[in-house]
Structure 1
Amino acid sequence: MKFFRPLFVFLLLQIPLSAIASGQAELTWYGHAAFKLTTPAGKVLLIDPWLTNPANQNGKDDLAKLEKADLILITHGHFDHVGNSAEIARKTGARLVSTFDLGKAIAQYGGYPEKQMGFDTMGNFGGELTLLDGEVKIAFIPAIHSSTVMAPDGSADKDIHDGGNPGGFLITVKNGPTIYHTGDTDVFNDMTLIRQFGKVDVMLACIGGHFTMGPERAAEAVRLVKPGMVVPMHFGTFPVLDGTVGNFAKALKKLGGKSRLHEMKVGETLKL
């Protein structure tokens, strides 16, 4: 035993301290397009945080219990993506990651604290931000959709404001995965460029149809991006979003490819 003890200590010293200290990245789905990403170092990113969407029966409790958020990422200005961001920001102090046009509109009309946004966390397509002391890199990816902002107490036909251009995010986590959140979009051929700058581990793909690409077009998007795993989102929240995971699976199988489909349940946390 005395021989093995120094050997164990020697082997332990060969392991990088970062590997000992770091945990796993975790991804939680709140339904619709709302996700929480927790990095191995414990930083919390929220993406399109409409926690109280109709698909999430525990939405009010999830919102009440959420005490920590470092960054809030918003893909575009529609209410179902801006969601509960202003309330969460006021409670947690989270900084906004968005385009400048969208950030200004959300601050002016959506109630997001303007002091919690700025040059450090706002950018535009083609740009990439390094945030949280290097814990994450976030690249702005275009999307084919629209983007308007409506004041929380405004009416849909009288109080609509320009929200800039819609987009998605490519999030690279230190000691963790690279995640592509498509936002609301149709498939477009330039999606092939995303993987030229690095492998995508997880693709969060809208499949609902009507306002975004449906299952068949989403499967084509997966073929272009070639992620290790694809998680379907933005379906079933409203009756018109009638794209199903079953049809998405059939379309993926028809196109072939090696991307693994993982159907998350609302409230599920996936360790990455």
Structure 2
Amino acid sequence: MRRVLVVLGMVLALVGSTVAGGALPAGRADAASELVAARTAVFGATNVDQATGAVRADRVLFSWFGVANFAVAMGGQVFLVDAWVPNVYPRHVPTTPAQLAALKPSHIFIGHAHFDHAADAVDIARASGARLVGSAEHCGFFRGQDAALRCDVVSAAGARPASTTTYRGLPGIEVTALRHLHSQIKAPTGALPPLLPLPPSDKLLTDPPGPAELARLAPHLNDPEGGSMAYKFTVGGTSVLWHDSVGPVSHDPAGPAILAALRRLGPVDLHVGAIQGFNEIANGLHDAMAYIDAVGATVFVPSHHDDWFPVLATPATGREAAFFAALKTIDHSPQVRYLRDPADYLNPDRVSIPVNRP
């Protein structure tokens, strides 16, 4: 499947010209106004101090910008989880890498380094000064693009799945990093029906990519995974778990250990997790349900289920019925805030929960 994706992307790139792309423009002189404007656009006027740009500390905010990429505000801190603005369809996602850099995120946490999760990470880190956080493989890959980048390692090279690390680099927030599995195709079990990205999107006709978009994306189509990480963030008495892939934990030998680790990290107040994976063509949403059941969150928010790339994806509404049907097959039944594209892009009030003081 990965090879199919790369070949498809190369074909798309060849259609376009070799116009240079991806560079972020220099910041404007009025840095304070730029910060306020960027944070207001991404987190909403009611959540941002219009004089200073500070984001309210009494709520956790996740503002979605495609796939499993979110701008996050917790405890007064602003950071990103993953960093790619889907650009195959130029008008689909209402933000840019430049606007995300203008948020002045302190950190960018990487779930894994495939292009749909990290293609803009280096550019945003350069422009904002953000510190990257990920596996040793992620940091090595990013430093290969820019040796001056700051990148904190939370998982050693070749670390075993289910291993956890405490990260102390985000002031006021406890962070636990969990090494888990990227999605993979496994033999069907018959537990849940397979899912295919059908019907295909018409976005290539209604919002086709231009040369600049293709030129920015093409160099990243074969970026390496570098291991898959999940992160638990805790501020006050509130905890959040985020991951950008769902591994075949019911099929892989490491699965039982990963599920046990997820149970130890849970239950959490908010679970923001990928539900689309390569295994859905054989096992439907079986993997996603295993993660949800193990974590035991009060609120679950699906991601990586939107119209982010031709052939591989459809709008979120395309798998909505299948998701809620699958949810009935597991023991845990969280509240669900189902995100639909494009209406819920940059809609932070959709994924907002209060911070409970301990």
**CA offsets per residue over residues 204-223 of structure 1, 9 Å max, x none?**
22222436674343123211
SS at 1:255 equivalent: coil
Question: Post-superposition shift, 1:203?
Answer: 1.9
Structure 1 runs (4+) greater than 6 angstroms displaced: none
Counterparts of 1:79-158 in structure 2, within 5 Å, are 79-108=115-144, 111-112=145-146, 114-117=148-151, 121-124=152-155, 125-145=163-183, 154=219
For residue 65 of structure 2, the aligned residue among 24, 27, 30 is 30
Unpaired stretches in structure 2, ≥5 consecutive residues: 1-55, 156-162, 185-215, 250-255, 354-358
Q: Which residue of structure 1 aligns with residue 226 of structure 2?
A: 164
Task: Indicate conservation of the 8 Å contact 2:85/2:95, yes or no.
Answer: no
1:203 matches 2:271: yes
AA aligned opposite 1:240: L
Q: Which residue of structure 2 aligns with residue 15 of structure 1?
A: none
Question: Post-superposition shift, 1:202?
Answer: 1.8
SS at 1:115 equivalent: coil
Question: Post-superposition shift, 1:57?
Answer: 3.6
Question: Post-superposition shift, 1:81?
Answer: 0.8
Task: Indicate conservation of the 8 Å contact 1:105/1:163, yes or no.
Answer: no
Counterparts of 1:5-16 in structure 2, within 5 Å, are none
Q: Which residue of structure 2 aligns with residue 255 of structure 1?
A: 330
For residue 290 of structure 2, the aligned residue among 215, 220, 234 is 220
Task: Indicate conservation of the 8 Å contact 2:110/2:118, yes or no.
Answer: yes
Q: Provide the rounded CA distance (Å) in 2 between the counterparts of 1:186 and 1:88.
A: 28
1:40 matches 2:75: yes
Q: CA RMSD in A?
A: 2.9
AA aligned opposite 1:267: L
TM-score (norm 1): 0.75
Q: Provide the rounded CA distance (Å) in 2 between the counterparts of 1:198 and 1:33.
A: 20
Question: Post-superposition shift, 1:257?
Answer: 2.2
* Farther off after superposition, 262-271 or 25-34: 262-271
Counterparts of 1:47-66 in structure 2, within 5 Å, are 47-54=81-88, 57=91, 59=93, 61-66=95-100
AA aligned opposite 2:116: D
Q: Provide the rounded CA distance (Å) in 1 between the counterparts of 2:330 and 2:266.
A: 22
AA aligned opposite 2:99: K
Identity %: 21
Q: Provide the rounded CA distance (Å) in 2 between the counterparts of 1:222 and 1:155.
A: 30
* Farther off after superposition, 128-137 or 30-39: 128-137
Q: Provide the rounded CA distance (Å) in 2 between the counterparts of 1:93 and 1:155.
A: 21
SS at 2:232 equivalent: strand
Question: Post-superposition shift, 1:93?
Answer: 0.3
Q: Provide the rounded CA distance (Å) in 1 between the counterparts of 2:131 and 2:109.
A: 9
AA aligned opposite 1:182: H
SS at 1:76 equivalent: coil
For residue 240 of structure 1, the aligned residue among 287, 312, 317 is 312
AA aligned opposite 1:241: A
Q: Provide the rounded CA distance (Å) in 2 between the counterparts of 1:209 and 1:145.
A: 5
* Farther off after superposition, 207-216 or 178-187: 207-216
**CA offsets per residue over residues 91-143 of structure 1, 9 Å max, x none?**
110001001121111221xx3563322xxx21214212012233342323312
AA aligned opposite 2:154: G
Q: Which residue of structure 2 aligns with residue 8 of structure 1?
A: none
For residue 267 of structure 1, the aligned residue among 320, 340, 346 is 346
Q: Which residue of structure 1 aligns with residue 193 of structure 2?
A: none
Q: Provide the rounded CA distance (Å) in 2 between the counterparts of 1:54 and 1:208.
A: 18
Q: Which has the higher contact order (CA 8 A, sep 6+)?
A: 2
Task: Indicate conservation of the 8 Å contact 1:72/1:96, yes or no.
Answer: yes
Question: Post-superposition shift, 1:64?
Answer: 3.0
AA aligned opposite 1:26: L
Task: Indicate conservation of the 8 Å contact 2:183/2:278, yes or no.
Answer: no
AA aligned opposite 2:120: N
Unpaired stretches in structure 1, ≥5 consecutive residues: 1-20
Q: Provide the rounded CA distance (Å) in 1 between the counterparts of 2:242 and 2:312.
A: 21
AA aligned opposite 1:104: G
